[in-house]
């Protein structure tokens, strides 16, 4: 049976707490919305999709070969991905984050996984819309944000391989493997 997988970065507790406060203040602002649970918040590096179990061990081996330093994660502003119907917090691009994403894509390509066909836009999904009414609700969230919210930055010390498991209330994400971000091994 195929596994629905993706590679990502978990959020640190201070950021998760700040996002909980932000979403609590917004929940009354939008209708027709499906709120992501704090346990599901992450920054995707690459969505792998339905992956054959035979590929799993190869994926683990290839991802474990990635040697990148820990990286600072700085957040941008809340925004909406209109076509996807997603309200999110942007992650500011950085040389180190882009390099890690490219290394992940290269490693998974060696396992036969095709890269996504759109540019990489790092973000944290907070809300998904349900239909046309939900799309209006996403924009109501942006309008409700009267003042800028300062969200804490953090340093990522690892990246993760997640499995997405369907549940009646949406997907639940299970960590399948952890890969440390550390300096390259000495030569």
Please report, for the domain that includes residue 37, its CATH number: 3.90.1140.10
Distance CA 94, CA 80 (A): 21
For 15, the enclosing helix (H) or strand (E) is helix 13-26
Q: Is residue 85 domain-resident? A: yes
Q: Is residue 140 domain-resident? A: yes
Q: Is residue 185 domain-resident? A: no
Whole-model pTM: value is: 0.91
Q: Is residue 36 domain-resident? A: yes
Average pLDDT over residues 162-168: 92
Q: Is residue 187 domain-resident? A: no
Structural domain span for residue 121: 3-180
* CA-closest candidate to residue 170, choices 39, 22, 31: 39
Residues 129 and 137: beta-carbon distance below 8 Å: yes
Q: Is residue 186 domain-resident? A: no
Average pLDDT over residues 29-45: 86
Contacts of 132 (CB under 8 A, 6+ apart): none
The number of distinct structural domains making up the chain is 1
What pLDDT is stored for residue 135 in this prediction? 74
What pLDDT is stored for residue 31 in this prediction? 65
Greater confidence, 9 or 111?
Answer: 9
Distance CA 31, CA 178 (A): 36
């Amino acid at each position: 049976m195929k596994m629905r997988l993706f590679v990502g970065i978990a959020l640190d507790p201070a950021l998760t707490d700040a996002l909980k406060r932000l979403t609590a203040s917004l929940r009354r602002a939008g209708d027709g919305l499906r709120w992501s649970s704090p346990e599901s918040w992450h920054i995707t590096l690459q969505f792998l999709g339905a992956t054959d179990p035979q590929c799993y061990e190869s994926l683990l081996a290839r991802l474990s070969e990635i040697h990148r330093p820990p990286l600072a994660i700085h957040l941008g502003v809340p925004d909406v991905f209109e076509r996807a119907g997603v309200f999110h917090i942007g992650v500011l691009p950085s040389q180190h984050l882009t390099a890690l994403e490219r290394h992940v894509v290269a490693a998974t390509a060696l396992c036969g996984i095709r890269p996504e066909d759109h540019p990489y836009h790092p973000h944290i999904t907070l809300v998904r819309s349900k239909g046309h009414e939900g799309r209006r609700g996403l924009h109501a969230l942006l309008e409700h944000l009267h003042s800028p919210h300062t969200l804490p930055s953090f340093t990522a010390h690892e990246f993760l391989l997640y499995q997405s498991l369907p549940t009646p209330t949406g997907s639940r994400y299970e960590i399948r493997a952890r890969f440390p971000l550390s300096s390259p091994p000495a030569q």
